[in-house]
Chains A and B, each alone.
Chain A
Amino acid sequence: MKYLLPLLLASPALALAEGPAVPNFVAETGGIAHQFTGEWEFMVGGGVAVFDCSGDALPEIFLSGGTSPSALYRNKSGAALSFAKAEDSGLEMDMVSGAYPLDIDADGITDLAVLRVGESRLMRGLGDCKFEDASATWGFEARDLWNSAFAATWEKGADWPTLAFGSYIDRTEDLFPWGTCTENLLYRGKKGQFGAPLPLKPAFCPLSMLFTDWNRSGTPALRVSNDREYYKGGQEQMWHVAPGEPPRLYTPDEGWARLRIWGMGIASNDLNGDGFPEYVLTSMADTKLQTLAEPGPETKPRYADVALAKGATAHRPYTGDELKPSTGWHAQFADVNNDGFADLFIAKGNVSEMPDFAMKDPNNLLLQRPDGTFEEAGDRAGVASTLTGRGAALADLNGDGWLDLVVVNRNGPTEVWRNGGTAEKVNWVALVPLMEGQPNRNAANAWVELRAGDRVQRQEVLIGGGHASGMLVPVHFGLGAADKAEARVIWPDGTEGAWTPAEVNKVTVLAK
């Protein structure tokens, strides 16, 4: 063996084995003491929303509580994370399963779509982290459903957002709940009012939705990830949502291929740099990483699953002594080590004492290598919690340029980690696309691009996806060792902004 060692040290294989730099996540609740609680009706959900409502550029954290009250935590962080529970924000309510921040009325104050087991609510931001229920004011016809998914966009020419709400099972059915998926609804509006919702029929028990411009046509479609545990005759779905037209499913004739999984969470990122987003779909015992089979101007929505080839199946615990399959929930692409390559976080946790699946199921932190494959680093990074993860958010909570992590656990404490960074000298850029004075103020479905050298990274601005969890925060890019870059926005109307120098290690507003 001693004779082999020098050879191994000199080999390219070993250089590869070094892999991406692993960030050091430090468990640091910062005063957050919260649980998402509940039994059967809260076996899914458990979302978190991250957004700034205090105006100090540090994002607050809103946590769903299930049978416990939901809670807003004001961000008081310095270098260390620190939060103070807001006692009278207006967001304290029961039966909350998730939440997504968005500025519905474009007044510059972030609002919140709150998913509930019961009637969901649209909470209008009043400033200084106060909120009021504006559901009735905005004509939002909430229905008594097990709400489980949400996404929003601004359709072309619309002065009011289009919201999609997905719901799960008929919770009154105890003997035969299978095949009882309740309705999914599309709310369109104008002049400050939502109209009567349009049904997104058929409904197949979604646990995640995402408006996304999958083919770069300029018109986002609605991807819906459905839980096969409960539908009959169902599959994954994608809807045409064209302005002024009823929603219409993509069909096999258009290239849509049937896929039936325990769909739980969605995230997207242009991983391969071809200009089209890849999608990750979390599930049980498997994860799908989809890339367009034939990308191009006339591409069809036919995807190849490259999770196995890329090392992103995340199918079983990678640490600890459990070998049973995993259960994946929230998924999010984010560059946690600022090396310029989007990484993938997946929150893990058993549904509810399912003995065929791991009970101690560590979260995944899959670091992307330059060749596009992934390497598991959750344990080395310190985020391999084996609590029952559900929703999550990766966001810069203390403004230091490293993305921190919040994970909501079912019937367990919410966990927060401060990202202590890596030993590498790396840079980052955070960009805020802004269309001040326009209905889609935060530029949902714009594409933000960052160019450093000959490499372009891009992210679509999304409201939806993950698992019951959303963020409205600057678009973050790692730069690696590069110390300069250019940024631009391709706005939702297709207008291409000019490439402009991006300020490194700062948050920059890109206004239209």
Chain B
Amino acid sequence: MPRGAGAATAISPEAVIATWYKLVLELVRHTATYSPPVASRTFGYLGVTTWEIVAQFDGLTSLAGQLNDLTPPPVTDRSLDQAAVLHGALSTAVGKLFENTGPTGQRALKAMVEKLGAKVAGGLDPVLAKASLNQGAAIAGHILDWAATDGGAVVENMGFPETYALTDGPAHWVPTSPIRMQQLPLLPGWGKNRPFAMKGDRPCGLPPPPDYSEDATSAFHAEAMEVYTTVKGLTDEQKAIARFWSDDPMLSPTPPGHWISIFLQIADRDKLPAPRLADGLARLGVAVADGFIACWRVKFEYDLLRPVTYIRRLIDPKWDPLLITPPFPEYPSGHSTQSAAAAAVLTAMLGPDFAFEDATLAADGLPARSFTSFDAAAREAALSRLYGGIHYRAAIERGLEQGACVGAFAAGLKTL
């Protein structure tokens, strides 16, 4: 692997990337604006940042010109130290993308910059180390300048708008939470953000959900009844699946972070070299970010009510879903879309029958789950929303289809 001339850094580029991402997964969980769409965006930009550095050191293909509006980043002198450039870049990028995190996050960021920085600089000529860190910061700055123009850079009031006109009519979303700020939907404009890799007008759109009906013989009513009866009769395994993929903001690394975590576990297990690690993080970040953009656009296009609203109105006024119903329209399921998008890129990268174990939530007391393929994991993640009582089947199935479409854009990027 190319390294800076005379470099004797005590830590590998892979370790620098993995260590920073470990912190990022915590910061996502502990930064108040980090709802799943916001998290996905950050994973997109961090993945691209990481890739552009590794690609330069390894003579691989830049994503500039492939991703929408991304111009070539500053060129790196390959005599610089790769680990130090990565540390400089991730220090800058993570610092900026989490500049609003709380005091404990800021303390951890500072400690990471200093402690990991000391490891990175250990054994390096100080002039080389400084130049490497500066180059990393310059590349990160280039990516952050690009990020600033995508429409998603500013998130206020934890993503809830100050004003928003709810759509009239019984078919449409109404608040489901007793939390005051969640009386308006989360990030209604997110679907207008600039995608990373998706091209064209309204890419990866979806047909409408089944026609809304209160008729007990209608397809829509049948979907609601399926949610109702499923939740009423949940098995222990179904409950475990629902909770495993619940991925609530502020209580987990969120759905996109869950898939980043899956990939990091595989990378650690299989000792993926920096190009493979960075390639995966970039594609995965792009896939989940585009997944949320496509999904949110469709959510606010159809603006469908949640199962809890319909079921309490027409079937059982005392019914409770297993999971917390998210505060935005139902169709399609965001987790389904982004999980299928993630599975698409990981399958393209690692193969269709790639078995793995996912211990993302071990520290939360949820045991690891094993999967025979990324598709199997994505399907389980999608179905977990039915078990959780927060999505109808159409949102799950169309969400998976949408994710496959989104993932194809990310999988089609030229890198290695």
A binds B: yes
Residues of A near any B CB (own CB < 8 A): 39-40, 43, 169, 174-179, 228-230, 232-233, 260, 284-286, 305-309, 313, 315-316, 323-325, 351-357
Q: Which residues from chain B contact A356 at a C-beta distance below 8 Å?
A: 32-33, 100, 156, 158
Residues B29 and A178 in contact, CB atoms below 8 Å apart: yes
- Point out the residue from B100, B111, B179, B181 that lies within 8 Å of A175, measured CB to CB: B111
Interface set of B (CB-CB < 8 Å, partner A): 22-23, 26, 29-30, 32-33, 99-100, 102-104, 107-108, 111-112, 115, 156-158, 162, 178-181, 248, 250-251, 363-366
A354, B102: Cβ atoms closer than 8 Å: yes
Select one of A40, A284, A286, A353 contacting B180, CB under 8 A. A286
B107 touching A284, Cβ below 8 Å: no
Q: How far is the CA of A182 from the CA of B152 in the complex (A)?
A: 37
Q: Which residues of A contact B23 (CB under 8 A)?
A: 175-176
The A interface is mostly helix, strand or loop, or mixed, namely: loop
With contacts A260-B251, A286-B181 known, what are 7 further pairs, Cβ within 8 A? A175-B115, A233-B365, A284-B32, A306-B178, A309-B178, A354-B102, A356-B156
Task: Kindly identify which residue among B26, B179, B366 contacts A176, using a CB–CB cutoff of 8 Å.
Answer: B26
Chain B residue at minimal CB-CB distance from A308: B178
Name the B residues within 8 Å of A308 (CB-CB): 178-180
Task: State which of A305, A309, A315, A354 has its C-beta within 8 Å of the C-beta of B32.
Answer: A354
CB of B363 within 8 A of CB of A179, answer: yes
* A357–B103 CB distance below 8 A: no
Residues in chain A near residue B104, CB distance under 8 A: 40, 169, 177-178, 229-230
A229 to B104 alpha-carbon distance, docked (Å): 9
User: Known: A176-B26, A232-B364, A233-B363. Is A353-B250 also a contact (CB below 8 A)?
Assistant: no
Residue from the list B103, B111, B181, B366 in contact with A352, Cβ < 8 A: B103
Contact flag A233-B180 (CB < 8 Å), given A351-B102, A352-B102? no
The reply to whether B107 and A286 form a contact with Cβ atoms under 8 Å apart is no
Our count of residue pairs bridging A and B at CB distance below 8 angstroms stands at 89
Contact A228 B251, CB 8 Å, known A174-B107, A177-B104, A357-B32: yes
Question: Contacts of A285 on B, CB cut-off 8 Å?
Answer: 32, 158, 179, 181
How many Å lie between the Cα of A325 and that of B100 in the bound state? 14
Smallest Cβ distance from A178 to chain B, in angstroms? 5
CB distance from B29 to the nearest CB of A (A): 7
Whole-angstrom distance between the alpha carbons of A177 and B250 in the complex?
Answer: 15
Query: Would you give the shortest CB distance from A310 to chain B, in whole angstroms?
Result: 10
Q: Which residues of B contact A229 (CB under 8 A)?
A: 30, 102, 104
A60 to B406, CA, bound (A): 66
Inter-chain contact B158/A325, CB cutoff 8 Å? yes
Could you say which of B103, B112, B156 contacts A353, with CB atoms under 8 Å apart?
B103
A325 and B108 contacting across the interface, CB-CB below 8 Å: no
Q: Are B108 and A323 in contact (CB under 8 A)?
A: no
Take A177-B108, A324-B157 as given contacts and tell me if A305 and B178 are in contact as well, using a CB distance cutoff of 8 Å.
yes
17 A–B contacts, CB within 8 A, in A order: A169-B104, A174-B108, A175-B112, A177-B104, A178-B29, A230-B104, A285-B181, A286-B179, A308-B178, A308-B180, A315-B181, A323-B162, A325-B32, A352-B103, A354-B102, A356-B100, A357-B32
User: B108 touching A354 by the CB < 8 A rule?
Assistant: no
In the complex, are the beta carbons of A313 and B180 less than 8 A apart? yes
Option from B30, B112, B156, B248 in Cβ contact (under 8 Å) with A178: B30
Q: Please give me the residue from chain A that is nearest to B32 by CB atom.
A: A356
Are B103 and A351 interface neighbours, CB within 8 A?
Answer: yes
Q: How far is the CB of A504 from chain B (nearest CB, A)?
A: 39
Docked Cα-Cα span, A175 to B111, in Å, equals 6
A232-B363, A308-B180, A323-B162 known; A40 and B103 CB under 8 Å?
yes
A325 touches B181 (CB 8 A): yes
Question: Residue of B at shortest CB range from A202?
Answer: B365
Quick check: A228 and B250 within 8 Å, CB to CB? yes
Cα of A222 to Cα of B280 in the assembled complex, Å? 48
